[in-house]
Copies of this chain bind each other. A is one copy, B any other.
Amino acid sequence: MNITAEEIWSAVRAIREKAPVVHNITNYVVMNSTANALLAIGASPVMAHAEEEVEEMVGIASALVINIGTLSPAWVRAMFRAAEAARKRKIPIVIDPVGAGATSYRTRTARDLIRAFPPEIIRGNASEIMALLETNAKTKGVDSTASSDAAVEAGRQLHSECGSIVCISGETDYVVGPAGIIRIRNGHVLMTRVTGLGCTASALCGAFAAVTANPAIAAAEAMAVMGMAGEIASARSEGPGSLQLHFLDALYRLSAGDIERLLKIGVGG
């Protein structure tokens, strides 16, 4: 498995041409920024969380992204119903276990969802991924306290348990799958000062999974595009406020040349 700039560019073009509908059940904090990122890359976001309609909305979607960032019982029920509908339609599911490890409610919900409907892709930071395995990672709020490196072993174990591609974001992003580990070294530290860019990464995993059959490749494409857009944006920004807007502009304008020039990806181990 090797991932080239051409393949990533081809996936970006496919999103722009097909505008796949990505159904998000996500947290209140990031709904706006997630929808804007999906629009900027060329996808068509929908947000719907009511039990009364999630199954039907899944019916018009090409991917389902479930993010547990601001949970409550009615939303959890809707997540299960949506995931079941997505499984029946065989569209890819992405689960983002925001804050798993911070409270038992989040840890339990994330584990139950993954066990009931193993998703194509699980994307979280190191602490969150480790929390899914009942390791002793300490989550400081929703930010990670474990290094990505330390979580790779947890990712391998989680992958072997549920079969999902496990994507661990951090200074280096790791995509753990059946063909080994993909490492993406794009990104910029200023991105950690903008809320919800991890959630955006999960949403982009959904968009790329809608146009890329192999979920490990889809996750790697999404993380690489996130990181490259973040680098382009950071170079033009004086802080996290301006980063937000330049990031959306960069997703919108991302070109074959940008990808060729910036991509830092490695496969192996």
Residues of chain A touching chain B, judged by Cβ–Cβ distance below 8 Å, are 19, 21, 23, 27-33, 35-36, 39-40, 44-50, 52-53, 56-57, 60-61, 69-74, 99, 102-106, 139-143, 192-196, 237-242, 244-253
Contact = CB atoms under 8 A, between A and B. Distances in A.
B239 A60 contact: no
Nearest to A241: B248
Contact of A71 (B46, B53, B142, B241): B53
Contact of A245 (B73, B74, B242): B242
A30 B32 contact: yes
A70 B52 contact: no
Nearest to A138: B60
Contacts of A60: 102, 139-141
- Closest 7 pairs (CB-CB, A-B): A241-B248, A239-B249, A241-B245, A239-B252, A35-B195, A53-B105, A53-B103
Given A29-B32, A99-B46, A250 B239 contact: yes
Contacts of A192: 39
A252 to B, nearest CB: 4
Q: Which of A40, A196, A240 has the most CB of B within 10 A?
A: A240
Contact of A50 (B50, B72, B142, B245): B72
A50 B242 CA distance: 32
A8 to B, nearest CB: 19
A99 B71 CA distance: 24
Nearest to A49: B70
21 contacts: A19-B140, A19-B143, A23-B141, A28-B47, A36-B241, A39-B193, A40-B239, A40-B240, A46-B102, A48-B70, A48-B71, A48-B99, A49-B72, A52-B105, A53-B103, A53-B104, A239-B250, A239-B253, A240-B248, A241-B249, A242-B248
Contacts of A237: 249
Given A21-B141, A240-B252, A253-B239, A36 B102 contact: no
Nearest to A51: B72
Given A21-B141, A29-B47, A141-B60, A35 B196 contact: yes
A12 to B, nearest CB: 14
B140 A44 contact: yes
A71 B52 contact: yes
A50 B240 contact: no
A31 to B, nearest CB: 4
A249 B245 contact: no
Contact of A105 (B56, B140, B253): B56
A23 to B, nearest CB: 8
